[in-house]
Amino acid sequence: MAYKFTLRGKTYSFKDLKTVLAKATPERSGDALAGIAAEDNKERIAAQYCLSEIPLKAFLDDLLIPYEKDEVTRLIIDDHDTEAFKPISSLTVAEFRDYLLSYEVDGKTLKGLAPGLIPEMVAAVSKIMRNQDLISIASKIEVVTKFRNTIGLKGHFSVRLQPNNPSDDPKGIAASIIDGLMYGCGDAVIGINPATDNPQEVSKLLKQLDDFRQQYEIPTQNCILSHLTTTFEIIDKAPVDLIFQSIGGTEKTNSSFGIDLKLLQEAYEAGKELGRGTIGNQMMYFETGQGSSLSADAHHGVDQQTLEARAYAVARKFDPFLVNTVVGFIGPEYLYDGKQIIRAALEDHFCGKLLGLPMGCDVCYTNHAEADQDDMDSLLTLLGVAGCNYIMGVPGADDIMLNYQSTSFHDAMYLRKVLNKRPAPEFEEWLLKMGIFDDQGNRKELKEQMLKLK
């Protein structure tokens, strides 16, 4: 179905819904690379007006990627909760934005609404929002998850300790873990991206992390971010806490990652049976990022931000403990500079939270993108205000294995300080017990003899 909008005497027409969405998207290099972006600023604002008048219902009827062709579309449509959708079923995209911002709509309302929303509606409304709207609405939503501790509570802010090492060297990894714990990081997860995805190596790393956790009674969870099939292979033999996988918003993207919904379901069920969590059993950990579908030539002419939101439909099917948008990792051909990275991260965090996910963000950039530490400081602060569940903690912000810059342990200290946020409650108690933090959340002066982690 074609869509039209007349702006200052000129009529813009868009051949279908996905074209309206793509042209209404704030500027980014990935959509230009795909050849679907607005021609100029005038066409973009015309598309945004056009989009704002579209009823939310339209996204349930006019499917961007055909039901028969894509299992992610089938998941979205089949799992849609019409009862939860009812209260907003007569709204347009513009009205939906105003509704979300209104005083009447609080976190509880939004939580009830989540099953009635599909990714396309959420992506649509985000495209006519400013950064402050994305922050304002997301900050209403609290998504709490549990495994060995509690992540996502208001007033708390967690960190994945990411002690990656280019040769998976156990001593190098241990050194980074100690450094991170001493700066109060690691409550979301201690998670390593392995240099080589092989079952024996992954098992060894898991054993190392698990021994360490038990020795110091750290209330957290571990993860080696190996491919799902590798984790699956060792799940009966190695201490697997969280099950990790990268996911995307189309069947073909997931296929390029070597997975499908059936495989995710099998892994999810196997993980449930392990029951290694102490206060909860949410154990899936997903990573996503705008541009992955285009990168795999699996985008069906849909813009990268809408596809990213569709990946969240895949994530929410499996009740995850953590979801992480790795926003600036993919490179300048998808998000060119600091401005585009910041916008995309706020969109992803907003869309994920509105769909009910425990969103974290890898605030990051690669060296070939036009971005630097100042951009990351800005994004980190904005996400903290938006209520982001967690960020990465990488020694000195420099990942020596994946060759990109993320956020550091010091960045986490900064954010908790300026926004008065605390680590996960169970983890904070441990930090106090170990004499690492004082009750103000400041790091204590650590004399050699106080260093209990040796």
Binding-site annotation: residue ranges for adenosylcob(III)alamin: 194, 245, 295, 401
Nearest approach in angstroms of CB 103 to other proteins is 35
Tell me the closest approach of the beta carbon of residue 265 to other proteins, in angstroms.
18
What is the distance between the terminal CA atoms of the chain, rounded to a whole angstrom?
65
Name which of 148 and 252 has its Cβ closer to other proteins.
252
Q: Which residues are annotated as a binding site for substrate?
A: 160-162, 193, 287, 362
Work out how close the CB of 214 gets to other proteins at its nearest, in angstroms, rounded to a whole number.
21
Q: How far is the CB of 303 from other proteins (least distance, A)?
A: 17
Using CB under 8 A, list all residues that contact other proteins.
29, 33, 163, 165-169, 171-176, 178-179, 182-183, 195-201, 227, 229-230, 233, 255-258, 295-297, 331-333, 336, 366-368, 372-373, 395-405, 408, 410, 413-414, 417, 442-443, 445-448, 451
- In the bound state with other proteins, the residue whose beta carbon lies nearer, of 186 and 277, is 186
Contact 323, 316 (CB under 8 A): no
- Minimum CB separation of residue 348 from other proteins in Å reads 21
Alpha helix segments (H runs only) across 355-392: 373-386
Q: How far is the CB of 13 from other proteins (least distance, A)?
A: 27
* Angle of the 119-127 helix axis to the 338-354 helix axis, nearest 10: 140
The CB-side HSE value for 165 (13 A sphere, CA atoms) comes to: 14
Record the tokens describing residue 40, joined without a space: 């100029």
Q: Is 366 exposed, middle or buried (0-12, 13-18, 19+ CB in 10 A)?
A: middle
Annotated binding site: which residue ranges?
160-162, 193-194, 245, 287, 295, 362, 401
Separation of alpha carbons 313 and 304, rounded Å: 15
- Give the angle subtended at the CA of 186 by the CAs of 185 and 187, to the nearest 5°: 105
Pair of tokens at residue 183: 């700066």
Q: Give kind and range of the element (H or E) at residue 360.
A: strand 359-361
| Amino acid in the structure at residue 411 | D
Reference 390, options 81, 145, 124, 127; nearest CA is 145
Three-class SS state of 289: coil
How many Å is the maximal CA-CA distance in the chain? 76
